Amino acid sequence: MRVVLLPVLRASMLVSALAAPAFADERLTAPVRFEATPVSPYLIDAWTSEDGLPQNSVNAVVQTRDAYIWMATFGGVVRFDGQTFRTFTGANTPGLGADRILTLYEDRAGTLWIGTQRDGVFMLRDGVFSRPIWNGELPGQQVWTIYQARDDAIWFGTSEGAARVDPRGHVTMHIPREGKVARAVRAVGESPDGTVWLGMHGGGLARVVDNVLRPFPFYDTGEEALVNVIATSPAGIVWIGTQAGLFRLQGERAERVPLPGNVSMEPVRAIMSDGGDGLWVGTRGGLCHLRAGASTYHGKDSGLSDTFVRALARDREGNLWIGTDVGGLNRLKRRQAVAYAPDDDRGSPVSVIPIVDDGADGLWVGATCGGLLHFRGGVFEQDGKAQGLPRDCIWAIHRDQDGTLWLGTPGGGLIRIQDGRVTRLSKASGIPNDSVLAIARDRAGVLWVGAHNALSRMTGDETFASYRLPIESASVSFITARRAGGVWLATTAGLFRFVDGVFKRWSTADGLSHDVVRAVLEDPDGTIWLGTYGGGLNRLRDGRVTHYTTANGLFDDVVSRILDDGRGYFWMSGNRGVFRVARRELDAVAQGRATTVTSIWYDTHDGMRTSETNGGGQPAGWQTSDGRLWFPTIAGIVAFDPSAPTNQHAPPVVVTRIVVDQRESDPSSELIVPAGAHNVEIHYAGLSFVAPDKVQFQYQLEGYDQDWIDAGTRREAYYTGLPPGRYRFRVRARNEDGVWSATDALLPVRQEPHVYQTWWFVVVCALLLVAMVGLALYVLHRLKLERAVALERMRMRIATDLHDDIGGTLSRMAILSEVAKRQAVLPPDVERRIDDLGETARGLVDAMSDVVWSIDPRRDHLASLLPRVREHALDVLDPTALIFETPPGAETVHLSPDQRRQLYLILKEALTNVAKHARAHHVAVVVTVDGHMLDVEVRDDGRGFDRESPAPTGEPGHPPDHGGRAHRPLVHLGNGLTNMRARVAALDGRLDIRSGSDGTTLQVQVPLAHPARSRRLQALVPWLLRRELDGWRPRA
């Protein structure tokens, strides 16, 4: 609503403070009387070439079984989906060889027949245009009319006669040649008895009897007329439209049917049943509706774009389609809203707010600044200042049972009209201020008046008791009786309940969606419904508030009035129009069973003069005893009939157009999106024609979209960068009355992949990757092998050099020292030095032998270690006391040079300690291999040792006596044990020593390299190198 209320209130309060006495009586004079503009029960909309038609002559209209509207024009065949026209011409459509189209007809098999001006007949079957093979057999190529008879034969009326084509394609011609019957056939029809009638453009009517054409004179004067159309009504009446008017066949005669005076003798060009017992007649002077002996006329004043009617067609929803001569396509539909508007002195419609019934069949209406209006029988009577009202601005009306009227004004206080006498009540009567916006009586009959920050209760004939609202800024704009007693107040500061002098408030702090409340409705079950100014609809029940806004389907967030139509719907008014919502859907949302509601809205497309309704006063809407709902607007009042039929026809939904990267694709087959295409547009339509602009859609691309997408009234879906794969596009439509399409439109979609996205490309790449990885591993392994071979060659050379060069030299030194000692008598000190030299040389030879053994690549296995350990054990122990156990397959257990050397030194140290300190009778060396672990134990039955004792001060193995006490002999191993632990740790192994009176056990566990890996490495060593290594022997 455009009216700004608060400034008006404040100004009015200031004026009223200086104005009238407590009350004053005036008597109303005669009101101003004027008639409202007559309202047609129908609405007419038009489409012309500016809206997409190829040109404005529409020669024929037909709705095909797929629900499209088709038109014949001189610019081609046109298909209409309610919003978009698509034109088929000879230039853009294969199989269609003409543009100037005269007629259309769909037969019972679904074929659309197309009659042209010069090129005979074409047909559209299964989406393909073609010309029948028998077209050349027609008597003429100018085809005026097409009709299918009961025997399934198709009749064609041409410029040179008629032709009958049976279902097998056999053509029978009927060419008038006798008497005055003209050759051109403009109309074909059939009577209930199966007689086929032909209407001649040159004059006259003929019927086919026994396959013979017989003239039929039907003028009382014997004159013959030019026949344009023949139609049979559902009641079986044959109607004939001629250049001289409308006729009806009665037996063997035809009688004239009078039309409204202004078109009584106009040529009749089209006839169509209205679906009942009425008839629509199209003439050169306008459109007529005949029903029950009465007729109505529709011309340009009714909204027709052209009065020359060429064609009529009725669709399955009851709309009448009108093809005109130069006015394009018109649609006539039944009006949903009936608007009435008085005009002010400037000719502008008056804005109104409060509406109540007058107790009879009229209404009292308050104009915002146009006085009090009484509406009855299409006539307005106006009372204002000139007739004795104190104020012209009426914002609230209440009518008592005795007919007394109470008027609320913003600045004029409370006005009572009783028996024609006007009484103004103001502050002196106990009303706090003169800005009265709400008036109502409670269930006890007490009158309540709402004003700015005040609620007043009538206590006497002209006295009131007033109560201040607890919120200073609150203005009461609506009062309604509370079922349990007291009243509900809608204010600018929330909802108030007033009971027994106590106010209870609900605001946004208590869960309301908005503080400005305009409407309150209490259900019989105690549910409170609130209309807010900006927060939509609120539901208050059991202390819980539920919100309904545009976010979950409400048509408008402004709700100025709520009316229950008694049929399960709440009707509401707002700034955008009037709308209704099913109560069951509102409850479902409140109970968590749904998340959205469906709003059915009404606006100027349905007959409202303006979509914007008014509110802020009381009551801003009323239901009269006949069930009609009345709402105030900024341009008069508007009425709705909840009992009027709704559109229960489920809208067929179709895919109309596909665009992939600005290239058109066929919507009737699978959509194949080529690789590299980025943008896909899918256009669709819901074929409902009552209110095409209100058809809403949901769509989903299965396999891509997780759920349905609400598209509103948008008729396109857009997708960008679809992943390769198969999808299915689904779309469904909902008409203006909330009825969903019975089936979804389906479109298979296949997004082609790039080469690099195909399965075979992935497989090839995987194979190539495997091959490359294999080659890389082979190369790396080969490099590793070559490095291993090079290392083994180096070790071999080092071993050879040490053995041959240094070892040979040391052996020679030892030999020469012996020779020198034997060949010469030397002084004792020299001989002693020569002995030391020989011993040193021999010791170095032994050490050199250990080094050569440790780096010899041929010895990198357990089998080479064990003999050497055994050899050392035999050197230091009694052979009879030695037990040596070795595992089978020792030659397959690979040991690195470091492992061999460290193990050898560990076991050498252990055996040496046994020989020096244990005094054992038996020594066992047990070697086992368990998986990847080498286990070596050295056990003796000697005297053991104490690892915690300090180093002995006496003879090794014989600690001194401590206070004469007897102790078992202890052995101290010194640094030997520490060295062994360090060597085992270097091998990531484990050393365990258990010692007692019954002997000592030393256990060494060392992890081994993976045996299979070692075998593979040995197997990959080139045969020549192995032979070279195998042939190498260290020289003694």
pLDDT band (50, 70, 90) for residue 255: confident
Predicted local distance difference test score (pLDDT) of residue 969: 47
Which class for 677: exposed (0-12), middle (13-18), buried (19 or more C-beta within 10 A)? Answer: middle
List b or e across 842-870, with b for residues whose CB sees 16 or more CB atoms inside 10 angstroms.
Answer: bebbeebbebbbbbbbbbbbbebbbebbb
Predicted local distance difference test score (pLDDT) of residue 346: 61
Same domain membership, residue 414 and residue 531 = yes
Beta pairing partners, 130: 123
CA distance 763 to 447: 87
Q: How do residues 764-805 score in pLDDT, each as one tens digit?
A: 999 999 999 999 998 988 888 777 777 777 766 676 666 666
Helix-strand-coil percent breakdown of the chain, rounded to 5?
20, 40, 40
Q: What secondary structure, in 3-state letters, does 112-173 show? A: EEEEECCCCEEEEECCEEECCCCHHHCCCCCEEEEEECCCCCEEEEECCEEEEECCCCCEEE
Report the pLDDT averaged over residues 360-383: 89
Q: Is 539 helix (H, G, I), strand (E, B) or coil?
A: strand
Same domain membership, residue 826 and residue 882 = no
Same domain membership, residue 499 and residue 358 = yes
Report the pLDDT averaged over residues 439-462: 90
Predicted local distance difference test score (pLDDT) of residue 964: 39
Distances (CA, A) of 322 to 44, 230, 307: 10, 17, 10
Give alpha helix (H) positions in 973-1010. 975-986
- pLDDT surpasses 50 at 69: yes
Report the pLDDT averaged over residues 813-839: 71
Residue of 622, 729, 719, 706 lying closest to 679 (CA atoms): 719
Which class for 28: exposed (0-12), middle (13-18), buried (19 or more C-beta within 10 A)? Answer: middle
Predicted local distance difference test score (pLDDT) of residue 19: 40
Phi and psi torsions of 114, nearest 5°: -125, 115
Cβ(174)–Cβ(158) under 8 Å? no
pLDDT band (50, 70, 90) for residue 1028: very low
CA distance 173 to 179: 18
Q: For 348, which DSSP code?
A: P
186 within domain boundaries: no
Cβ(673)–Cβ(661) under 8 Å? no
CA distance 332 to 108: 26
- pLDDT surpasses 60 at 222: no
Predicted local distance difference test score (pLDDT) of residue 49: 96
- pLDDT surpasses 80 at 836: no
Report the pLDDT averaged over residues 465-489: 92
Give the torsion through C-alpha atoms of 874, 877, 878, 883, to 10 deg.
Answer: -70
- pLDDT surpasses 80 at 1027: no
Predicted local distance difference test score (pLDDT) of residue 33: 73
Which class for 523: exposed (0-12), middle (13-18), buried (19 or more C-beta within 10 A)? Answer: middle
Neighbours of 952 (CB within 10 A): 15
Same domain membership, residue 741 and residue 765 = no
CA distance 237 to 147: 17
CA distance 216 to 240: 12
pLDDT band (50, 70, 90) for residue 341: confident
Same domain membership, residue 824 and residue 679 = no
Which class for 394: exposed (0-12), middle (13-18), buried (19 or more C-beta within 10 A)? Answer: buried
Which class for 1025: exposed (0-12), middle (13-18), buried (19 or more C-beta within 10 A)? Answer: middle
Of 572 and 380, the structure prediction assigns the larger pLDDT to 572
- pLDDT surpasses 70 at 888: yes
Predicted local distance difference test score (pLDDT) of residue 145: 96
- pLDDT surpasses 50 at 26: yes
pLDDT band (50, 70, 90) for residue 1036: very low
Of 235 and 835, the structure prediction assigns the larger pLDDT to 235
Of 955 and 407, the structure prediction assigns the larger pLDDT to 407
Q: Is 97 helix (H, G, I), strand (E, B) or coil?
A: coil
Report the pLDDT averaged over residues 26-37: 71
Beta pairing partners, 546: 539
Predicted local distance difference test score (pLDDT) of residue 693: 93
Annotate 392-441 with DSSP letters as a single string. S---EEEE-TTS-EEEEEBTTEEEEEETTEEEEE-GGGT-S-SBEEEEEE
Distances (CA, A) of 251 to 203, 237, 255, 277, 332: 20, 10, 10, 20, 33
Report the pLDDT averaged over residues 149-154: 94
Predicted local distance difference test score (pLDDT) of residue 896: 83
Give the torsion through C-alpha atoms of 439, 443, 446, 449, to 10 deg.
Answer: -20
Predicted local distance difference test score (pLDDT) of residue 965: 35
Report the pLDDT averaged over residues 581-608: 94
Same domain membership, residue 658 and residue 632 = no
328 within domain boundaries: no
Predicted local distance difference test score (pLDDT) of residue 1031: 47
664 within domain boundaries: yes
- pLDDT surpasses 70 at 6: no
- pLDDT surpasses 60 at 221: no
Of 452 and 845, the structure prediction assigns the larger pLDDT to 452
Angle between helices 828-855 and 759-801 (to 10 degrees): 170
Report the pLDDT averaged over residues 410-415: 87
Same domain membership, residue 661 and residue 600 = no
Angle between helices 897-913 and 862-876 (to 10 degrees): 20
- Which of 189-193, 540-544, 599-603, 1014-1018 is predicted least confidently? 1014-1018
Q: What is the CATH number of the domain that holds 728?
A: 2.60.40.10
Same domain membership, residue 925 and residue 780 = no
Show the domain range for 669: 653-755
- Which of 221-225, 402-406, 697-701 is predicted least confidently? 221-225
- pLDDT surpasses 70 at 950: no
Q: Which residue has the tokens 């069973």?
A: 593
- pLDDT surpasses 50 at 1020: no
Same domain membership, residue 789 and residue 825 = yes
Please report, as a single letter, which amino acid is at residue 255: E
Q: How do residues 500-527 score in pLDDT, each as one tens digit?
A: 999 999 999 999 999 999 999 999 989 9
CA distance 629 to 619: 12
Q: What secondary structure, in 3-state letters, does 17-84 show? A: HCCCCCCCEEECCCCEEEECCCCCCEEEEEECHHHCCCCCCEEEEEECCCCCEEEEECCEEEEECCCC
Cβ(951)–Cβ(971) under 8 Å? no
Cβ(269)–Cβ(230) under 8 Å? no
Mark which of 855, 883, 906 sits at the end of a domain.
Answer: 855
Q: What is the CATH number of the domain that holds 901?
A: 3.30.565.10
Q: What is the CATH number of the domain that holds 438?
A: 2.130.10.10
- Which of 628-642, 659-673, 677-691, 871-885 is predicted least confidently? 871-885
pLDDT band (50, 70, 90) for residue 473: confident
Q: Is 505 helix (H, G, I), strand (E, B) or coil?
A: strand
- Which of 256-260, 551-555, 829-833, 904-908 is predicted least confidently? 829-833
Q: What secondary structure, in 3-state letters, does 576-589 show? A: CEEEEEEHHHHHHH
Mark which of 703, 724, 755 sits at the end of a domain.
Answer: 755
Residue 495 corresponds to which tokens in the numbers above?
A: 């909802």
Predicted local distance difference test score (pLDDT) of residue 4: 34
62 half-sphere exposure, CB direction, 13 A CA radius: 22
Q: Is 985 helix (H, G, I), strand (E, B) or coil?
A: helix
Q: Is 109 helix (H, G, I), strand (E, B) or coil?
A: coil
- pLDDT surpasses 90 at 952: no
Predicted local distance difference test score (pLDDT) of residue 563: 97
Predicted local distance difference test score (pLDDT) of residue 382: 85
Q: How do residues 686-737 score in pLDDT, each as one tens digit?
A: 999 999 999 999 999 999 999 999 999 999 999 999 999 999 999 999 999 9
Report the pLDDT averaged over residues 444-456: 91
Predicted local distance difference test score (pLDDT) of residue 173: 87
CA distance 714 to 696: 7
Predicted local distance difference test score (pLDDT) of residue 70: 98
341 within domain boundaries: no
Beta pairing class for 363-367 and 352-357? antiparallel
Predicted local distance difference test score (pLDDT) of residue 795: 65
pLDDT band (50, 70, 90) for residue 810: low
Share of the chain above pLDDT 70, in %: 86
Predicted local distance difference test score (pLDDT) of residue 25: 62
Q: Determine if residue 149 is left, alpha or beta; phi over 0 gives left, psi from -120 to 50 gives alpha, anything else beta.
A: beta
pLDDT band (50, 70, 90) for residue 824: low
Give me the chain's average pLDDT, please. Answer: 85
364 within domain boundaries: yes
Report the pLDDT averaged over residues 24-44: 75
Same domain membership, residue 495 and residue 374 = yes
Report the pLDDT averaged over residues 974-987: 84
Which class for 316: exposed (0-12), middle (13-18), buried (19 or more C-beta within 10 A)? Answer: middle
Neighbours of 715 (CB within 10 A): 22
- Helix-then-strand count for the chain, H and E: 10, 72
Predicted local distance difference test score (pLDDT) of residue 347: 63
Q: How do residues 192-210 score in pLDDT, each as one tens digit?
A: 889 999 998 766 888 888 8
Of 839 and 302, the structure prediction assigns the larger pLDDT to 302
Q: Is 189 helix (H, G, I), strand (E, B) or coil?
A: strand
Same domain membership, residue 469 and residue 599 = yes
Q: How do residues 71-98 score in pLDDT, each as one tens digit?
A: 999 999 999 999 999 999 999 999 999 9
For the chain, the maximum distance between any two Cα atoms, rounded to a whole number of angstroms, is: 182
Report the pLDDT averaged over residues 621-645: 94
254 within domain boundaries: no
528 within domain boundaries: yes
pLDDT band (50, 70, 90) for residue 1032: very low
- pLDDT surpasses 90 at 751: yes
Predicted local distance difference test score (pLDDT) of residue 963: 40
Same domain membership, residue 449 and residue 362 = yes
- Kindly give, in sequence order, each residue whose CB lies less than 8 Å from that of residue 163, ignoring residues fewer than 6 positions away: 137, 138, 139, 155, 156, 171, 172, 173, 174
Residue of 510, 550, 517 lying closest to 531 (CA atoms): 517
What's the number of domains the chain is made of?
4
Of 223 and 36, the structure prediction assigns the larger pLDDT to 36
133 within domain boundaries: no
Size of the chain, expressed as the number of residues it contains: 1036
Of 55 and 431, the structure prediction assigns the larger pLDDT to 55
